[in-house]
Structure formats: structure tokens, C-alpha cells
Amino acid sequence: MVTTLNASSLAQLQQALKADIRSISPLHGGCIGVVQKLLLSDGRSLVIKTSALQTAAPFTPTSAEEGLTGLEQEAWMLETLAERTQLPVPKVLYKSPEALIMEFMPGESVFNPLAQTHAATLLAELHQVRGPRFGLERDTLIGGLRQPNPWSDSWLAFFSEHRILHMGRNAYEEGKISAGLLGRLEKFCDRIDQWLLEPAAPVLLHGDAWTTNILAEKGRITAFLDPAIYYGHPEVELAFTTLFGTFGEPFFKRYQEINPIEDGFFALRKNLYNLYPLLVHVRLFGGSYVSDVERTLAHIGC
């Protein structure tokens, strides 16, 4: 029985999908909407994201960029990856301000050595897609939070202002970090060229490549989900895969074969790049992530 969609929404979706929705069941994940699995009368299994599944209330836009809601932003990012890269992402089948429907991708967020090797190949190939400058033609989202992407000729300036200081200042305004910690982040950004490097060229990033946003089955990656795309330094993406133990030695061995990583990444730069996802987690969850930021800054004397 379909019990979570009102009659008007149900009719609209069934017309768009050209099939009846037989059942809806919950799925994990989704920072910008409830995630559920649809079983259709024609046998297809799809995924729907919407914040309005269980109420008649309209979806509240997360970002005003281009007048799009968070769900429409996610649809645009998935479609952009599909158009510009070979990265496996779910096909967008329906999008509106209230709902995003995608193909259901099989797999689990568990990665044996074969899956890690395949993930490395896919990300290395993604990181060969070059952009005109750092940034993107529009702002995007990460974890439901606005991610500004103004075009920039300098990676270090972009990362400082539009990643670290953007998240840090918002965290301070939300009462998630102290003025003292914000000052330490500003000190780090003032001296950022002491530790981080400009890349050879801006490359396309998934932007949120960690465990639950990647699926694998039988030693192969089946999908990358929930992107937060922009053109940047591949090291910020590689660093994120280490933050929560997503990938390990098999991944980095294969990645190095395709795209060599400069010396110093594992000893220092990966931790500094992980300040950005840590600040995202500070804004979303607070708690111990603040201490993680403080320890990382203390390590370099900031």
C-alpha cells in the first residue's frame, strides 16, 4: 500500500513515471530530504528523495542559487557528472522542487581490495576532467549546506575563502565554534601557502566521496551518490576518503599508478584538507568535530 504520498503527488509522479507506485520503503541517508525506495507496477525499483513525503508542507529551499531547491541542485549535479564524466551515478528520472526520483543503484558501502582499486581508477579518471578555473558555474551543496563556487584563478585563495572561512564563519555565526577558533582558522588561511600547493590545473571533483556516498557490489563500484561538485585540487578529494576510513592502501596504490600524488600529502596535507569536511560536520553535528579541528590546527602551530 502507498500511504506516504498525498493523492495529488501520487498521481503526478505516476503520470511522470508511466507506471503505478506499488510500495514505498525507507532507505538510509539524505541530508536534504527523506530517502525512500519505490517499487513500480512495471517491476522497476527507483529511489525518491523528498522532504514532503509525510506532510503536505512545501519543501524549503536550501539554496537560492538559480532559484533551485536543494533537490533540484542535487539533480543538476548528478546530471552534470553524467554529461561530463564516466563516473557511475544514478540517472535522474524526475525532478521538481518537491521531489527527485533516480534509478535504484545496487550495492553496499563496503569495499574489498578489488572495489577500492576500481574506485581509485574511477576517481583518477574523474580527476583528469579539467575545468577553466577553480569553482563552478553555480554554487552547489554539501550535506545540505551551501557551497559557494565563484570562479577563481588561485586554488589556495579559493580553498581559503570559499571553503575554510566560509564554513568557519557560518559555524561561528551559528554558535558552533568560538571566536578564538575562528581566529585560528583565519591565521591558517593567512599562511596557507606554507603548507598547501597549487595544482597543475583545476579538475572536477565529486566533492563528498566518503563511505555512505559510494556503493559497491562483487568487487566493483556501482555508484557514487550525493555529489558536491566543483573544480578544485584532487588532494582535497583524496583526503576526504581517509577521514572516516573509506579507502586504504589498495585505493592509493592504484590511484598513484594513474595520477601520482606529490610528496607530503600523507604526512601533512591530507589532514589540513580535512579541515573542510570537519567544519561541515561541525555545522551539522557539532560535538567532537570541534576538537578535531582544534587538534589539526594545533599540529601546525595555528
Confidence (pLDDT) at 64? 39
Residue 107 burial (C-beta neighbours within 10 Å; 0-12, 13-18, 19+)? middle
Confidence (pLDDT) at 5? 57
pLDDT digits (tens, 9 = 90+) for 144-179: 899 999 999 999 999 999 999 999 999 999 999 999
Least confident range from 55-59, 85-89, 280-284: namely: 55-59
Confidence (pLDDT) at 286? 86
Confidence (pLDDT) at 182? 98
Does the pLDDT of residue 45 top 50, yes or no?
Answer: yes
Torsion, Cα of 255, 261, 264, 268 (10° steps): -50
Confidence (pLDDT) at 33? 66
Does the pLDDT of residue 49 top 80, yes or no?
Answer: yes
pLDDT digits (tens, 9 = 90+) for 108-140: 999 999 999 999 999 999 999 999 999 999 999
Confidence (pLDDT) at 231? 98
- Considering the entire predicted model, what is its pTM? 0.90
Mean pLDDT of 12-31: 78
Does the pLDDT of residue 226 top 60, yes or no?
Answer: yes
Mean pLDDT of the chain: 90
Confidence (pLDDT) at 17? 85
Are 228 and 206 in contact by the 8 Å Cβ rule? The answer is: yes
Distance CA 122, CA 260 (A): 15
Strand (E) or helix (H) holding 35: strand 34-40
Confidence (pLDDT) at 62? 40
User: Which three-class secondary structure state does DSSP give residue 296?
Assistant: helix
Eight-class DSSP state of 135: B
Domains of the chain: 7-103 (3.30.200.20), 113-299 (3.90.1200.10)
User: What pLDDT band is residue 53 in, cutting at 50, 70 and 90?
Assistant: very low
- Which of 6-15, 30-39, 161-170 is modeled with the greatest confidence? 161-170
User: Residues of the chain with pLDDT > 70: what percent?
Assistant: 90
State the Cα angle at 80 between 281 and 41, rounded to 5°: 90
Confidence (pLDDT) at 29? 61
C-alpha cell at position 226: 550525493
Are 149 and 138 in contact by the 8 Å Cβ rule? The answer is: yes
Q: Tell which wins on pLDDT, 232 or 20.
A: 232
Does the pLDDT of residue 55 top 50, yes or no?
Answer: no
Mean pLDDT of 185-201: 97
Mean pLDDT of 37-58: 71
Mean pLDDT of 99-114: 95
